[in-house]
Amino acid sequence: MGSISEWLRAHPLVPYIRQSDYAVRRPWKYGDRRLLDYLLVYVQEGECRFHADGEDYLLTQGDICLIQPGSLTRLEGMTDTITPYAHLDLFYNPNREEGFPTRAGQTDVTPYGHLMQPRLNDMPGVDIPVRLRPSKPVHFRDTMLKMIACWLGQDPLGEVKAQHMAAELALAILEDHVDQRSLQTNALPALNWITSFLSFHIAEPLTVSMMAERAHLSPSRFNDVFKSRFGMSPHRYLLQLRIHHARELLATSSYDQAQVAEYCGFADIHHFSKAFKRHTGLTPGDYRKQAADARQEL
């Protein structure tokens, strides 16, 4: 995919914490395994050696690390440690409740490919290291600890708060590692709001200039972006929405044609009738009669 916007539309950011704890332990080891989800670890006390994707990382008090899905990893606590952690999905997967933190020895996770999370580093222009250096380390640490506390509380609202804080942490990581210039130049402006906007204002005399202003673009630029996204001009797209709405009202309501024309944003009944027949091949009256006949046959 060519842009961060496109990537995020295909992979909605909806965190799901699978397992989390404060992990107070004496020296410990966890053998080789390949992750299906994300592992976020804060070394609160002690020293650890983490191996991920062929590299060793010596982690000491205050370090934060993120190991991404698909990584082959081996973990060791070299001293007594306190290592608050979370196994979590960052991106929505309808099968997420089937997911699990892989166990020592599970290096071939091919049978679980449908549970594998997308990697942040697969996003265009993103390269997040294992050892994180948050721009606001205290806030990041505190948010992570609050997230774990909320999740461990097993209170329904606490779990919602925990997922919300997981999203906040994911956003902080992205903000620290995405080139802001790429957000401005790497993609066409997103118009994911446009259908709702047009539907809400469908009865109003909308113009391309009004839509362009809402999108913070010039009218000519808005036209180009809109055509690239929807395959047609804004005017044609809006007209299709109005005709669709008119068909629904004619088929399901008792509004007269003048009211239907008004509710669908046509200037007058003549303009409405002409546009409706051009697009459907029927006059509004004939369409209503045809819809009524079809209902009687059911």
Residue ranges covered by each domain of the chain: 4-181, 194-297
Give pLDDT tens digits for 31-52: 999 999 999 999 999 999 999 9
Do 4-181 and 194-297 share a fold? no
Please give the model's pTM, rounded to 2 decimal places.
0.72
4-181: CATH class: mainly beta
The CATH code for residues 194-297 is 1.10.10.60
What pLDDT band is residue 189 in, cutting at 50, 70 and 90? low
Task: Give the mean pLDDT of 56-85.
Answer: 97
- DSSP 8-state class, residue 189: P
Q: The tokens 């952690």 sit on which residue?
A: 85
Predicted confidence (pLDDT) at residue 179 exceeds the cutoff of 80 = no
Whether pLDDT at 183 is above 80: no
Contact 75, 92 (CB under 8 A): no
Q: How many CB atoms lie within 10 A of CB 56?
A: 10
Q: Determine the Cα–Cα distance for residues 228 and 224; give it in Å rounded to an integer.
A: 6
Q: Do β-strands 13-21 and 131-132 pair in parallel, antiparallel, or remain unpaired? A: unpaired
